[in-house]
Amino acid sequence: MDSTCDHGLAKPQAAWGAVFSMALCVAVLIASEFMPVSVLTPIAVDLGISEGRAGQAISVSGMFAVVTSLVIGGLVKHIDRKRVLLSFSLLLVISDLVVTFAPTYTVLMIGRALLGVAIGGFWSMSTAIVMRLVPEEAVPKGLAMINAGNAIAATISAPLASLLGDHVGWRGAFLLVVPIALLALVWQWIGMPRLPPRGRKGPGNVFRLLKRRQVTLGMAAIFLLFMGQFALFTYLRPFLESVTGVSVSMLLAILLLMGLAGVAGTWTIGHMLRTRLYSIVIAIPLVMALLAGVLILFGSVPWAVTVLLIGWGFFGTAAPVGWGTWLSRALRDDAEAGGELQVAVIQLAITLGAAVGGLLFDAFGWWSTFALGAVLLLGSALLAAAAVDHGKARA
């Protein structure tokens, strides 16, 4: 049986089974959150709404994830963290069932709101829990494993959801996620050790962390990174269909190649983080801004778009690994509160990116969402550089 490395043990051992169960749950969370990207058009047609409005299915989950991540610490401060994670995993199952059988746009949004609660709660505690499940020297490996769930979901969910959307409908794509979510729930129940709550080192308000200038700069960089990324990523399918003019099979191939590139990027960059963390968190948004700009210029050239999106998948999927490692170092004394703040920032960024991107997409066309993404990503690189400089000055 796995044992936890909590402070009560004389010789802590890593509870890798529990970490694996979290990674599987993360994969399902990510797949559920972003599956609308690959079935955006079928959802819009089925429910009789615009593609921009259908994109708000991502926005609503992000909005509820923001609220949950900000309040969850106070609500569950006396509850075993294992029970908390199991509750969010169960909510994930319920949410996917609601979305699968949603008869109207309103019910779809309710299901997506439940998903947002699960995302905000699970993600906000993931870094702090990994830091309790494995020894300190193994934390980067544990975080990389959790984020590998993200990469795997990016690899499988987009092409599979698109394929199923064309053969059994978008509802069938969401229904497929349910048994995997149930497996993650059972695995956590069996493999996760008890994790009694720990007292925080400061007041409950997570915004107190922003008094540290390095944290403020880092969180601002994270915000612009994810807002820019998802202003573009949310509307990839309509872009590929209407601008690049790819077939369904080519669309599936591009999404699959992006996912595989994300797995490779997570593995490659994860191994570099121990010695090159700061240069990586600066380089990722800088490269992605360049890719977004070039996509605007060559959006109608299929081979060029394919190459550029492979690069986008490589760097974009690896971004959370870098910033998760940054969090474990910059806020190791208050990781749970730091995780709550980081998830709130990320989900707010995703919400605004999808929402503003949808408004621009409907009003001005695809190029405006891509231009917005490029500008925001460039700003993220500049703020990341400022956070690095401040951190080195304090060291």
CATH number for the domain spanning 291: value is 1.20.1250.20
Q: How confident is the model at residue 323 (pLDDT cuts 50, 70, 90)?
A: confident
Strand ranges inside 37-154, DSSP E? none
- Determine the Cα angle at 363 with ends 312 and 41, to 5°: 60
Q: How confident is the model at residue 36 (pLDDT cuts 50, 70, 90)?
A: confident
Asked if residue 8 belongs to a domain, the reply is no
**Mean pLDDT value of segment 77-103:** 90
For residue 234, which phi and psi values (nearest 5 degrees)? -60, -30
Tell the residue number behind the tokens 């058009």, with chain if given: 41
Q: What percent of the chain has pLDDT over 90?
A: 24
- What 3-state DSSP class applies to 368? helix
Asked if residue 3 belongs to a domain, the reply is no
d(CA 191, CA 203): 32
Asked if residue 234 belongs to a domain, the reply is yes
Checking if the pLDDT of 329 tops 80, the result is no
- 337 touches 198 (CB < 8 A): no
**Mean pLDDT value of segment 203-212:** 73
The mean pLDDT value of the chain amounts to 82
Record the pTM.
Answer: 0.75
Asked if residue 6 belongs to a domain, the reply is no
Q: How confident is the model at residue 2 (pLDDT cuts 50, 70, 90)?
A: very low
Structure token digits, residue 205: 């308000």
More confident residue, 357 or 290: 290
Asked if residue 108 belongs to a domain, the reply is yes
Asked if residue 1 belongs to a domain, the reply is no
Cα distance between the two ends of the chain: 40
Asked if residue 128 belongs to a domain, the reply is yes
Task: Domain of residue 98: give its range.
Answer: 16-394
Number of domains the chain is built from: 1
- What 3-state DSSP class applies to 76? coil
More confident residue, 176 or 312: 312
The overall longest dimension of the chain from CA atoms, in Å, is 62
DSSP string, 242-272: III---HHHHHHHHHHHHHHHHHHHHHHHHH
Percent of residues in the chain assigned helix, strand, coil, to nearest 5: 85, 0, 15
Asked if residue 2 belongs to a domain, the reply is no
